[in-house]
């Protein structure tokens, strides 16, 4: 039973929330707080503007989803009477600087203002610290956990010293 507890602990440490990148909403909130200072999630006909400022209706998205972002930015600008804005972020393997440069060139040709949010904010650094991943534990701590796992497994299989259920 103790071995199961330690396996669960290792699983939890290894796959903790800190392994995942920030969500689009976290990027949106961090960038809005640091830069845009607009209203979030403003409803319009057939959609919702991510950030609405006095001047721009802004769509927030991953760089690799720039196709969708351009269409949404134009839609939101039409609905609000504001200028179209597209705030993109690089946060994953699908997002590249090359794609951003292409998206910016295309969007600018359509009259859409483009920002690279990474230049202003990184929500991954502003998130509260989560429980450490196994790889971030000290070597001594990892060895201790493995020793405890091995000992727990040995005791679990040792019939002369039955372990109480926990």
Domain count, the chain: 2
Where do we find the tokens 């199961």? Answer: 4
- Quick one: average pLDDT of 105-130? 84
Residue 34 lies in a domain: yes
Beta-bridged to residue 86, according to DSSP, are 59, 114
Are 10 and 62 in a shared domain?
A: no
Residue 165 lies in a domain: no
Are 95 and 40 in a shared domain?
A: yes
Residue pair 63/51 in contact (Cβ under 8 Å)? The answer is: no
- Look at residue 19 in the predicted model and tell me its pLDDT: 44
Q: For the segment 13-68, what is each residue's pLDDT rounded down to a tens digit?
A: 444 434 457 889 999 999 999 999 999 999 999 999 999 999 999 999 999 999 99
- Distance from the Cα of residue 13 to its chain's centroid: 18
Q: Which domain holds residue 89?
A: 23-126
Are 85 and 151 in a shared domain?
A: no
Residue 164 lies in a domain: no
Residue 166 lies in a domain: no
Are 28 and 50 in a shared domain?
A: yes
Residue 162 lies in a domain: no
């Amino acid at each position: 039973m103790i071995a199961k507890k330690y396996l669960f602990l290792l699983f939890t440490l290894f796959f903790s929330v800190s392994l995942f990148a920030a969500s689009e909403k976290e990027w949106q909130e961090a960038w809005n707080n640091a830069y845009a200072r607009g209203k979030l999630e403003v409803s319009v006909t057939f959609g919702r503007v991510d950030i609405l400022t006095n001047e721009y209706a802004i769509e927030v998205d991953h760089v690799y989803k720039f196709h969708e972002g351009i269409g949404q930015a134009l839609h939101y600008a039409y609905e609000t009477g504001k200028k179209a804005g597209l705030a993109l972020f690089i946060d994953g393997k699908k997002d590249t600087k090359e794609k951003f440069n292409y998206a910016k060139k295309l969007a600018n040709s359509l009259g859409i203002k483009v920002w690279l949010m990474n230049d202003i904010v990184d929500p991954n650094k502003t998130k509260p610290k989560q429980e450490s991943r196994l790889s971030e534990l000290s070597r001594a701590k990892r060895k201790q956990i493995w020793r405890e796992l091995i000992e727990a497994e040995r005791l679990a299989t040792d019939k002369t010293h039955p372990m109480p259920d926990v």
